[in-house]
Copies of this chain bind each other. A is one copy, B any other.
Amino acid sequence: MWKEVLSVSFYRAVFSEFLATSIYVFFGLGSVLRWPSALPTILQISITFNLAAATVVQISWHVSGAHVNPAVTMAFLLGSRISLARAASYMVAQLLGGIAGAATLYGVTPAEVQGSLGINTVRSNITSGQAVAVELILTFQLVLCYFASTDRHTNANSPATFIGLSVALGHLIGVSLLGCCQSPLSPMHWGRLQCIRHSSQARGVGPAVYAYPWVAPATPVPILALPGLQPGVFLGRSSAA
């Protein structure tokens, strides 16, 4: 293990996760800024997330594997594809990257379009159980797509295209229901919450923060669900026609 942690490539990979997550969060949150002349549609937000995810996966997948999301890192850890030290370092880098990306966006945009920087707000007519279930499904399909797209035995090419599509798919359905996230451990949450604490609770952010914890209990659930995703268990490579 020490051999891995002390190598140059390990630190490159951790830095790559930091950089990729900060770019992803900068552009992702940037897509929900409330420009008065052109309020973003769900389609535009989803396509921006598609392109942001595809671009950062393309940038970082041959360096770090392009997780960009703690739920994905957790899944790879449970699937025995990466070491514990690598997983822990990735998750810290992702959370810091999320904060850096959101802070940068906060710094370069005029205050009147920032709103709550896109913090998630569960719709009032959805129960917390429904929100948890949706969050689970969105994360589930994303993690499955990661496993299917990064299997070196069946994919010769960059996984960026399909991970981008899968991220956008989650947003097309999730934005209306949850304000969208895909895993509550996500660096987007952390980035936004940190930024907002530093700056403004007056702009209606308070209720959003209070509404948010209802989704948080979902965190352990996708984690529990993930071992089943190991290729060797039920979606493994087969000799099917």
Contacts and interface: CB of A to CB of B under 8 A. Distances in A.
A81 B240 CA distance: 11
A219 interface: no
A206 interface: no
A27 B63 contact: no
Interface string A33-73: 10100100111101110111011101110111100000000
Interface residues of A, number: 86
Interface in A115-161: 123, 125-126, 130, 133-134, 137, 141, 144-145, 148-149, 151, 154-158, 160-161
Contacts of A151: 62
B38 A240 contact: no
What secondary structure prevails in chain A residues at the interface with B? helix
Contact of A16 (B58, B65, B235): B235
Nearest to A236: B12
A9 B165 CA distance: 27
Contact of A51 (B30, B38, B155, B165): B165
A182 interface: no
A85 to B, nearest CB: 12
